[in-house]
Amino acid sequence: MKIDIISVVPGLLESPFAHSIMKRARDKGLLEVTCYNLRDYTNYPRAQVDDYQFGGGAGMVMMIEPLVNAIESLQAKTNYDEIIYLTPDGERLNQKTANQLSLKNNLLLICGHYKGIDERVREHFITKEISIGDYVLSGGELAAAVMVDAIGRLIPGVLNDETSALTDSFQDNLLAPPVYTRPEVFRDWKVPDILLSGNHAKVEEWRQEQALQRTKERRPDLLD
Ligand code: 6GU
């Protein structure tokens, strides 16, 4: 999968994909992430990319020309399945959307800043608008990093144990059950006996129960 990202602060996106699972995905050639600096696509003096909003009011708006220059020059090289604008007023990202997006080949992400982007870009180019939660970030970059991570780890071959994404929280609308590792006893805190029983069917049944109980307690909304 190829993910291109347009940003005014591309430096913010250097580290998130340079470690751990995202790094492995890129090293294996399963995920290609490229960041483009919006300032490279403006013809305004001093690399200007934002301006005051018509109608007045506090806060700058990202201008249409640099964004359209950037989008169209990238579109000339790649046929995008989705052009996604990261914005707090977008559709809230969840596991279902991450699963769907992980099946795409080419994505273009646009990171907003200031008061957002000129509405005409949204009307004419953006195919999907995504928020990562009900709070406001300074820009779309961290949201883009979250989204790329959530999607990238679902690409077949990225995770070591290919079944492990299937047992993640949310995959079946349930939170994940508790997990334990060595030692069996720490102070007087024991690992549940069932997990040491070697009875795989019983273990599975216990995990299922725990997942359901945990979901009822913490996120009953997932069960509706
Ligand atoms: Cl995608 N962008 C910004 N700026 N803030 C957010 C967000 C996105 N999602 C939640 N808050």
Residue 162: the pLDDT is 60
Domains of the chain with bracketed CATH: 2-152 (3.40.1280.10), 167-223 (1.10.1270.20)
Tell me which residue of 143, 93, 101, 126 sits closest to 2, measured CA to CA: 101
For tokens 């004419």, the residue is: 124
Query: Could you give the dihedral angle defined by the CA atoms of residues 209, 99, 14 and 159, in that order, rounded to the nearest 10 degrees?
Result: 60
Query: 79: helix, coil or strand?
Result: coil
CB 102 less than 6 A from any atom of ligand 1: no
Report the C-alpha gap between 18 and 20 in whole angstroms: 7
Q: What is the dihedral of CA 183, 187, 191, 192, to 10 degrees?
A: 160
Tokens standing for 25?
A: 């995905």
Q: Write the secondary structure of 159-190 as one string of H (helix), E (strand) and C (coil).
A: CCCCCHHHHCCCCCCCCCCCCCCCCCEECCEE
Q: What is the pLDDT of residues 204-223, one digit of tens each?
A: 999 999 999 999 999 999 99
86 close to ligand 1 (CB < 6 Angstrom): yes
Q: What pLDDT, on a 0 to 100 scale, did the predictor assign at position 164? A: 79
| Tens digits of residue pLDDT in 113-128 | 879 999 999 999 999 9
Q: Is 65 in the pocket of ligand 1 (CB under 6 A)?
A: no
Is the distance from the beta carbon of residue 143 to the nearest atom of ligand 1 less than 6 Å?
Answer: yes
Give pLDDT, residue 170: 87
pLDDT for position 166: 78
DSSP designation for 76: T
Q: Is the dihedral of CA 150, 156, 161, 165 positive or negative?
A: positive
* Candidate from 9, 13, 87 with most ligand 1 atoms within 8 A of CB, to mutate: 87
189 lines ligand 1 (CB under 6 A): no
Pocket probe mutation, ligand 1, options 62, 131, 141, max atoms within 8 Å of Cβ = 131
Query: What confidence score (pLDDT) does residue 114 get?
Result: 79
- The pTM for the full model equals 0.95
Say how far apart CA 167 and CA 174 lie, in whole Å.
Answer: 9
Residues 6+ positions from 207 with CB-CB distance below 8 Å: 177
> Which residue ranges of the chain lie beneath pLDDT 50?
none
**CA 128 – CA 123 distance, rounded (Å):** 11
Asked, as a colleague might, if the bond just before 183 is cis with ω within 30 of 0, I would say yes
- What was the pLDDT predicted at 171? 81
Q: What is the pLDDT of residues 81-111, one digit of tens each?
A: 999 999 999 999 999 999 999 999 999 999 9
| Ligand 1 closest atom vs CA 134 | 10
Q: Tally the residues of the chain.
A: 224
Report the alpha-carbon distance of residue 132 to residue 92 in Å, rounded: 6
